[in-house]
């Protein structure tokens, strides 16, 4: 049996590893990126921690799985009648297909953001942000008037909690005089962490304020320029705008909308087996499921689809899909996190313990335990690497 998977992220990698347990299955995994990206630690890599925690080469993950073939290509079109996919390099035939393409950044059409804002969603975005910070402090000897993070979701809150300590380390490294660094977190909705409880939002704001971050809720970003930002009618002077808000489904589905039913947010409508069409499974961020948009959901979906494929192959009935909620944990500054699952809430060092456990489990989902712990520990090392050294392969 041949299975084709598109996407080398949480869902695609996990589905491939699960399917590979059956030697008779041949898996082709097509991915645009040579690395698996561990998104939850990108805020940490962006603030000077070892990048080994955030990107792991796919070849390393699959090195002991001869029945997984990895192909690097970007798929642009699908023809379900002919069962073909067209990539930038080649055309591929599939018999069963799993699509796990993840999400992309969107700026909601806000003027100037695509040009003036930095991001932390990829290696190249992180490199660009760090180059900017090094250039500002190192070459120009300047501390920005304000460092503005847009988006009060987990990524924005995590980054806001870690950025101050990183900037102070950079300041010392470049021998600039001691001074307060102004960090502002801007959120359009009435509270940060809107997917968590009100109590969690309150605890997060208190922690951020203790770390010196100014939290501005109910504020709409209107435009960005070389001078700064216009936020709810008021200008903020800054050369450092970091956009962590706005995710949209992978553009592939809109471009091939004739073959998929999309919900109003552009996610793919799937049946009880996560099938969008016969023999086409859609998982992770791409699927219209209640907990879509989380790494744990993509992993759960990958395992679910792979096991159902194996069940059917072995003459058993496939199971129907049920969501799995492991809770959410958001780190804010050193050794402090907020964990929430249902009515259980842990903050501070206990929350940080939950985050460490979640990261080890997250890495172990794709790597053997020894490598998972090494990778996780690498992320604990703060290093002031000059951005040119931020190589994906060293």
Ligand X SMILES: Cc1cc2nc3c(=O)[nH]c(=O)nc-3n(C[C@H](O)[C@H](O)[C@H](O)COP(=O)(O)OP(=O)(O)OC[C@H]3O[C@@H](n4cnc5c(N)ncnc54)[C@H](O)[C@@H]3O)c2cc1C
What is the binding site for ligand X (CB under 6 A)?
6-12, 30-33, 39-40, 42, 74-75, 100-102, 120-121, 154-155, 250, 252, 284-286, 293-296, 298
The least CB distance from residue 140 to ligand X, in Å, is: 28
> Helices 349-364 and 369-378 sit at what angle, rounded to 10 degrees?
130
- Separation between Cα atoms, residue 339 and residue 347, nearest integer Å: 6
User: Does residue 208 sit in helix, strand or coil?
Assistant: helix
Phi and psi angles of residue 128, each rounded to the nearest 5 degrees, phi first: -65, -40
- Which is closer to ligand X, CB of 250 or CB of 270? 250
C-beta of 25 vs 100, nearer to ligand X: 100
Among 152, 328, 147, smallest CA distance to 246 is for 152
Integer Cα distance of 253 and 279 in angstroms: 16
Read out DSSP for 68-104? EEEEE--EEEEETTTTEEEESS-EEE-SEEEE---EE
CA nearest neighbour of 62 among 281, 371, 380, 376 = 371
68 vs 101, beta carbon nearer ligand X: 101
Residue 364 tokens, joined: 């172990």
Query: Shortest distance, CB of residue 316 to ligand X, whole angstroms?
Result: 26
**Shortest gap between Cβ of 30 and ligand X (angstroms)?**
5
- Strands 234-237 and 68-72, how do they pair? unpaired
Asked if 78 contacts 279 with a C-beta cutoff of 8 angstroms, the reply is: no
Identify the CA nearest to 266 among candidates 296, 293, 245.
293
CB of 144 closer than 8 Å to CB of 158:
no
Please count the residues of the chain: 394
Tell me the longest C-alpha to C-alpha distance in the chain.
Answer: 71
Question: Please, which residue, 228 or 379, has the CB nearer to ligand X?
Answer: 379
Contact 153, 193 (CB under 8 A): yes
**Minimum CB distance to ligand X smaller for 166 or for 252:** 252
- Residue placing its CB nearer to ligand X in the complex, 16 or 250: 250
Centroid of chain to Cα 259: 27
- Using alpha carbons, select from 371, 370, 333, 324 the residue that is nearest to residue 355: 333
Q: Which is nearer to ligand X, 112 or 293 (CB)?
A: 293
Based on CB atoms, which residue is closest to ligand X, 143 or 308?
308
Residues with Cβ within 8 Å of 47's Cβ and at least 6 positions away in sequence, in order, are 159, 162, 163, 165, 166
- Smallest gap from residue 75 Cβ to ligand X (A): 4
Cβ closer to ligand X: 230 or 299? 299
Token reading at 34: 């040579």
Q: Which is nearer to ligand X, 6 or 241 (CB)?
A: 6
Min CB(142)–ligand X separation in Å = 27
Question: Smallest gap, in angstroms, from Cβ of residue 173 to ligand X?
Answer: 25
Calculate Rg over the CA atoms of the chain: 22
**CB 262 → ligand X: shortest distance, Å?**
16
CB of 306 to ligand X, least distance (A): 13
Alpha helices for 264-348 (secondary structure H): 295-313
Query: Nearest residue to ligand X, using CB?
Result: 9
Closest approach, Cβ 379 to ligand X, in A, equals 13
Provide the minimum distance between the beta carbon of 74 and ligand X in the complex, in angstroms, as a whole number.
Answer: 4
């Amino acid at each position: 049996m041949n299975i084709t998977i598109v996407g080398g992220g949480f869902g695609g990698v996990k589905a491939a590893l699960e399917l590979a347990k059956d030697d008779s299955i041949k898996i082709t995994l097509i991915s645009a990126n040579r690395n698996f990206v561990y998104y939850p630690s990108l805020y940490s890599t962006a603030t000077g921690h070892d990048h080994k925690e955030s990107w792991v080469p796919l070849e390393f993950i699959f090195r002991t799985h001869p029945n997984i073939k990895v192909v690097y290509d970007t798929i642009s079109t699908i023809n379900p009648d002919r069962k073909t996919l067209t990539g930038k390099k080649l055309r591929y035939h599939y018999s069963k297909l799993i699509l796990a393409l993840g999400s992309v950044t969107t700026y909601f059409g806000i003027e100037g953001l695509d040009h003036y804002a930095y991001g932390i969603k990829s290696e190249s975005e992180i490199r660009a942000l760090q180059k900017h910070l090094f250039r500002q402090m190192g070459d120009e000897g300047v501390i920005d008037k304000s460092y503005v993070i847009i988006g009060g979701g987990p990524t924005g809150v995590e980054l806001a909690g870690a950025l101050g300590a990183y900037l102070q380390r950079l300041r010392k490294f470049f021998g600039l005089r001691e001074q307060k660094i102004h960090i502002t977190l801007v959120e359009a909705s009435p509270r940060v962490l809107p997917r968590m409880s009100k109590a969690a939002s309150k605890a997060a704001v208190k922690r951020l304020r203790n770390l010196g971050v100014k939290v501005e809720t109910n504020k709409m970003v209107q435009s960005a320029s070389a001078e700064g930002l216009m936020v709810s009618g008021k200008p903020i002077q800054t050369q450092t705008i970091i956009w962590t808000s706005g995710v949209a489904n992978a553009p592939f589905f809109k471009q091939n909308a004739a073959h998929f039913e999309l919900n109003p947010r552009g996610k793919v409508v799937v049946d009880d087996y996560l099938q969008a069409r016969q023999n086409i499974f859609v998982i992770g961020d791409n699927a219209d499921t209640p907990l879509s948009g989380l790494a744990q959901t993509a992993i759960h979906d990958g395992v679910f689809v792979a096991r159902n494929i194996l069940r059917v192959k072995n003459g058993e009935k496939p199971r129907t899909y049920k969501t799995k909620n492991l809770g959410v944990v958001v780190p804010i500054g050193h050794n402090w996190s907020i964990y929430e699952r249902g009515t259980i809430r842990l903050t501070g060092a206990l929350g940080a313990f939950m985050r460490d456990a979640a990261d080890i489990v997250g890495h172990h989902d794709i790597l053997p335990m020894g490598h998972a712990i090494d990778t996780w520990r690498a992320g604990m090392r703060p290093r002031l690497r000059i951005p040119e050294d931020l190589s994906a392969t060293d």
